Amino acid sequence: MLDFQELLAHDAHRKTGGRPVGDCGTILIVDHEDASRSEAVRVAVRLGFEPRPAENAELLLERLDDERPALAIVEVELPGPTSGFELLRELHDRFGEELPVILVSGERTTPLDCVAGLQLGADDYVIKPFDSGELLARVRRSLSRRQRRGTGNGNGAPPNGEPSLSPREREILTLLAEGKTQKQIAAALVISSKTVATHIQHLLAKLGVTAYRQGLVGSDVLAHALVPLVLTPE
Protein backbone atom coordinates (compact mmCIF):
# COMPACT_ATOMS: atom_id res chain seq x y z
CA MET A 1 0.00 0.00 0.00
CA LEU A 2 1.21 3.50 -0.78
CA ASP A 3 2.61 5.49 2.13
CA PHE A 4 1.11 8.93 1.57
CA GLN A 5 2.81 10.48 4.58
CA GLU A 6 6.14 9.41 3.11
CA LEU A 7 5.15 10.91 -0.22
CA LEU A 8 4.23 14.17 1.47
CA ALA A 9 7.50 14.25 3.42
CA HIS A 10 9.47 13.58 0.24
CA ASP A 11 7.89 16.60 -1.47
CA ALA A 12 7.73 18.85 1.59
CA HIS A 13 10.73 20.90 0.47
CA ARG A 14 8.98 21.99 -2.70
CA LYS A 15 7.55 25.48 -2.99
CA THR A 16 4.34 26.56 -4.68
CA GLY A 17 3.69 30.22 -5.25
CA GLY A 18 6.46 31.11 -2.84
CA ARG A 19 4.85 29.17 0.02
CA PRO A 20 5.86 25.81 1.51
CA VAL A 21 3.77 22.70 0.99
CA GLY A 22 0.78 22.69 3.32
CA ASP A 23 0.78 26.46 3.81
CA CYS A 24 -2.27 26.90 1.54
CA GLY A 25 -4.45 24.66 3.69
CA THR A 26 -5.68 21.10 3.30
CA ILE A 27 -7.36 19.03 0.60
CA LEU A 28 -9.42 16.02 1.66
CA ILE A 29 -9.02 12.97 -0.58
CA VAL A 30 -11.32 9.97 -0.23
CA ASP A 31 -10.78 7.16 -2.72
CA HIS A 32 -10.45 3.41 -2.22
CA GLU A 33 -8.15 2.95 -5.24
CA ASP A 34 -4.44 3.47 -4.57
CA ALA A 35 -3.62 4.78 -8.05
CA SER A 36 -6.21 7.56 -8.23
CA ARG A 37 -5.70 8.45 -4.56
CA SER A 38 -1.97 8.78 -5.25
CA GLU A 39 -2.61 11.09 -8.21
CA ALA A 40 -4.84 13.29 -6.06
CA VAL A 41 -2.18 13.45 -3.33
CA ARG A 42 0.42 14.57 -5.87
CA VAL A 43 -1.90 17.28 -7.15
CA ALA A 44 -2.52 18.60 -3.64
CA VAL A 45 1.20 18.68 -2.86
CA ARG A 46 2.03 20.35 -6.17
CA LEU A 47 -0.46 23.14 -5.44
CA GLY A 48 0.96 23.71 -1.97
CA PHE A 49 -1.82 22.01 0.01
CA GLU A 50 -1.52 19.33 2.66
CA PRO A 51 -3.30 16.19 1.42
CA ARG A 52 -5.41 14.26 3.89
CA PRO A 53 -6.13 10.93 2.19
CA ALA A 54 -8.48 8.19 3.36
CA GLU A 55 -9.76 4.97 1.81
CA ASN A 56 -13.38 5.43 2.87
CA ALA A 57 -15.75 7.98 4.35
CA GLU A 58 -15.66 6.54 7.86
CA LEU A 59 -11.88 6.91 8.13
CA LEU A 60 -12.02 10.47 6.86
CA LEU A 61 -14.78 11.49 9.27
CA GLU A 62 -12.86 9.98 12.19
CA ARG A 63 -9.82 12.09 11.34
CA LEU A 64 -11.60 15.38 10.64
CA ASP A 65 -10.97 18.32 12.92
CA ASP A 66 -12.55 21.77 12.99
CA GLU A 67 -10.19 23.20 10.39
CA ARG A 68 -12.06 23.99 7.20
CA PRO A 69 -10.44 22.32 4.17
CA ALA A 70 -9.86 24.21 0.95
CA LEU A 71 -11.38 21.46 -1.21
CA ALA A 72 -12.40 17.79 -1.14
CA ILE A 73 -11.94 15.08 -3.78
CA VAL A 74 -14.47 12.30 -3.17
CA GLU A 75 -14.98 9.00 -4.98
CA VAL A 76 -18.63 8.17 -5.68
CA GLU A 77 -18.29 4.38 -5.18
CA LEU A 78 -16.78 4.37 -1.70
CA PRO A 79 -16.68 1.06 0.19
CA GLY A 80 -18.60 0.91 3.44
CA PRO A 81 -21.95 2.27 4.57
CA THR A 82 -21.36 5.88 3.43
CA SER A 83 -21.38 6.61 -0.30
CA GLY A 84 -19.63 9.49 -2.01
CA PHE A 85 -22.95 11.30 -2.44
CA GLU A 86 -23.68 10.96 1.27
CA LEU A 87 -20.18 12.13 2.20
CA LEU A 88 -20.63 15.17 -0.04
CA ARG A 89 -23.73 16.15 1.95
CA GLU A 90 -21.95 15.46 5.23
CA LEU A 91 -19.05 17.73 4.29
CA HIS A 92 -21.38 20.50 3.17
CA ASP A 93 -23.38 20.19 6.40
CA ARG A 94 -20.19 20.48 8.41
CA PHE A 95 -18.22 23.09 6.47
CA GLY A 96 -20.86 24.86 4.39
CA GLU A 97 -21.94 24.48 0.78
CA GLU A 98 -19.16 26.85 -0.31
CA LEU A 99 -16.66 24.01 0.17
CA PRO A 100 -15.70 22.80 -3.34
CA VAL A 101 -16.17 19.04 -3.68
CA ILE A 102 -14.95 17.23 -6.79
CA LEU A 103 -16.58 13.84 -7.33
CA VAL A 104 -14.59 11.14 -9.14
CA SER A 105 -15.96 7.88 -10.51
CA GLY A 106 -14.92 4.95 -12.63
CA GLU A 107 -18.36 3.33 -12.72
CA ARG A 108 -21.01 6.08 -12.62
CA THR A 109 -19.93 7.65 -15.89
CA THR A 110 -23.13 8.44 -17.80
CA PRO A 111 -24.19 12.04 -18.53
CA LEU A 112 -27.04 11.62 -16.04
CA ASP A 113 -24.58 10.54 -13.32
CA CYS A 114 -22.46 13.64 -13.95
CA VAL A 115 -25.40 16.03 -13.92
CA ALA A 116 -26.88 14.37 -10.83
CA GLY A 117 -23.60 14.81 -8.98
CA LEU A 118 -23.42 18.48 -9.93
CA GLN A 119 -27.02 19.11 -8.89
CA LEU A 120 -26.40 17.41 -5.55
CA GLY A 121 -23.75 20.02 -4.83
CA ALA A 122 -20.50 18.83 -6.41
CA ASP A 123 -18.32 21.50 -7.98
CA ASP A 124 -17.02 19.12 -10.66
CA TYR A 125 -17.33 15.49 -11.74
CA VAL A 126 -14.25 13.68 -13.05
CA ILE A 127 -14.27 10.32 -14.82
CA LYS A 128 -11.60 7.74 -13.99
CA PRO A 129 -9.00 6.97 -15.04
CA PHE A 130 -7.54 10.46 -14.96
CA ASP A 131 -3.98 11.73 -14.84
CA SER A 132 -2.55 14.33 -12.52
CA GLY A 133 -2.56 16.98 -15.27
CA GLU A 134 -6.31 16.75 -15.76
CA LEU A 135 -7.06 16.70 -12.05
CA LEU A 136 -4.65 19.57 -11.44
CA ALA A 137 -6.52 21.75 -13.95
CA ARG A 138 -9.90 20.86 -12.46
CA VAL A 139 -8.79 21.55 -8.89
CA ARG A 140 -7.37 24.92 -9.90
CA ARG A 141 -10.59 25.77 -11.72
CA SER A 142 -12.76 24.79 -8.75
CA LEU A 143 -10.71 26.88 -6.34
CA SER A 144 -10.67 29.94 -8.59
CA ARG A 145 -14.37 29.58 -9.41
CA ARG A 146 -15.30 29.59 -5.73
CA GLN A 147 -13.21 32.71 -5.19
CA ARG A 148 -14.87 34.55 -8.08
CA ARG A 149 -18.41 33.44 -7.34
CA GLY A 150 -20.68 36.11 -5.91
CA THR A 151 -23.08 35.79 -3.00
CA GLY A 152 -26.28 35.87 -5.02
CA ASN A 153 -28.31 37.77 -7.58
CA GLY A 154 -31.22 38.95 -5.45
CA ASN A 155 -33.90 36.81 -7.10
CA GLY A 156 -33.60 33.66 -5.01
CA ALA A 157 -31.63 31.72 -7.62
CA PRO A 158 -28.16 30.38 -6.91
CA PRO A 159 -25.38 32.80 -7.92
CA ASN A 160 -24.23 30.60 -10.82
CA GLY A 161 -27.67 30.75 -12.45
CA GLU A 162 -28.55 27.09 -11.91
CA PRO A 163 -32.14 26.25 -11.00
CA SER A 164 -32.67 25.32 -7.37
CA LEU A 165 -34.14 22.00 -6.30
CA SER A 166 -36.64 21.41 -3.53
CA PRO A 167 -35.68 19.06 -0.68
CA ARG A 168 -37.97 16.37 -2.12
CA GLU A 169 -36.45 16.76 -5.59
CA ARG A 170 -32.99 16.36 -4.11
CA GLU A 171 -34.10 13.19 -2.32
CA ILE A 172 -35.46 11.74 -5.55
CA LEU A 173 -32.41 12.80 -7.53
CA THR A 174 -30.15 11.08 -5.00
CA LEU A 175 -32.14 7.85 -5.30
CA LEU A 176 -32.09 8.08 -9.10
CA ALA A 177 -28.33 8.54 -9.00
CA GLU A 178 -28.11 5.40 -6.86
CA GLY A 179 -29.93 3.44 -9.56
CA LYS A 180 -33.34 3.13 -7.85
CA THR A 181 -36.46 2.61 -9.98
CA GLN A 182 -39.60 4.71 -9.77
CA LYS A 183 -41.38 2.08 -7.67
CA GLN A 184 -38.41 1.71 -5.33
CA ILE A 185 -38.26 5.48 -4.84
CA ALA A 186 -41.98 5.60 -4.06
CA ALA A 187 -41.59 2.85 -1.46
CA ALA A 188 -38.53 4.48 0.10
CA LEU A 189 -40.19 7.89 0.44
CA VAL A 190 -43.66 6.52 1.25
CA ILE A 191 -45.33 8.42 -1.58
CA SER A 192 -47.24 7.29 -4.65
CA SER A 193 -45.52 6.26 -7.85
CA LYS A 194 -47.51 8.96 -9.65
CA THR A 195 -46.07 11.61 -7.32
CA VAL A 196 -42.57 10.33 -8.02
CA ALA A 197 -43.27 10.57 -11.76
CA THR A 198 -44.33 14.21 -11.36
CA HIS A 199 -41.14 15.05 -9.47
CA ILE A 200 -39.04 13.30 -12.12
CA GLN A 201 -40.73 15.38 -14.83
CA HIS A 202 -39.80 18.54 -12.90
CA LEU A 203 -36.24 17.26 -12.50
CA LEU A 204 -36.04 16.51 -16.20
CA ALA A 205 -36.91 20.10 -17.05
CA LYS A 206 -34.54 21.59 -14.49
CA LEU A 207 -31.62 19.28 -15.24
CA GLY A 208 -32.07 19.70 -18.96
CA VAL A 209 -31.66 23.46 -18.65
CA THR A 210 -28.67 23.12 -16.33
CA ALA A 211 -26.90 20.53 -18.45
CA TYR A 212 -27.38 22.61 -21.57
CA ARG A 213 -25.99 25.74 -19.90
CA GLN A 214 -22.99 23.87 -18.58
CA GLY A 215 -22.35 22.27 -21.95
CA LEU A 216 -22.30 18.80 -20.43
CA VAL A 217 -25.08 17.16 -22.36
CA GLY A 218 -28.13 18.02 -24.43
CA SER A 219 -31.56 17.81 -22.86
CA ASP A 220 -32.46 15.06 -25.33
CA VAL A 221 -29.89 12.77 -23.67
CA LEU A 222 -31.32 13.49 -20.23
CA ALA A 223 -34.82 12.90 -21.54
CA HIS A 224 -33.72 9.55 -22.96
CA ALA A 225 -32.38 8.59 -19.54
CA LEU A 226 -35.30 9.80 -17.40
CA VAL A 227 -38.44 9.46 -19.53
CA PRO A 228 -38.49 5.62 -19.29
CA LEU A 229 -38.72 6.04 -15.51
CA VAL A 230 -41.54 8.54 -15.84
CA LEU A 231 -43.49 6.28 -18.17
CA THR A 232 -43.05 3.12 -16.09
CA PRO A 233 -46.54 1.83 -15.22
CA GLU A 234 -47.47 1.60 -11.55
Domains, the chain, ordered by start? 4-148 (3.40.50.2300), 167-230 (1.10.10.10)
Q: What is the per-residue pLDDT for 164?
A: 66
Q: pTM of the entire structure? A: 0.63
Average pLDDT over residues 169-189: 82
Residues 6+ apart with CB under 8 A from 205: none
Query: What is the arithmetic mean of pLDDT over 13-30?
Result: 65
pLDDT at position 15 is 38
Model confidence band, residue 193 (pLDDT cutoffs 50, 70, 90): confident
Instruction: Give per-residue pLDDT as tens, 68-126.
Output: 999 999 999 999 899 999 999 999 988 888 899 999 999 888 877 888 888 888 999 99
Q: Does residue 21 surpass a pLDDT of 60? A: no
The pLDDT mean for the chain works out to 76
| pLDDT attached to residue 155 | 35
Maximum average pLDDT range among 18-22, 124-128, 191-195: 124-128
Give the residue-averaged pLDDT of 176-180: 76
Q: How confident is the model at residue 218 (pLDDT cuts 50, 70, 90)?
A: very low
Question: What confidence score (pLDDT) does residue 74 get?
Answer: 97
Specify the pLDDT at position 116.
Answer: 84
The 10s digit of each residue's pLDDT in 113-161 is 888 888 888 999 999 998 888 999 999 999 988 777 543 333 334 445 5
> Using an 8 Å Cβ cutoff, are 120 and 170 in contact?
yes
pLDDT(13) > 50? no
Q: What would the mean pLDDT of 180-186 be, rounded to a whole number? A: 85
**Beta pairing, strands 26-30 & 71-75:** parallel
Return the higher-pLDDT residue of 82 and 18: 82
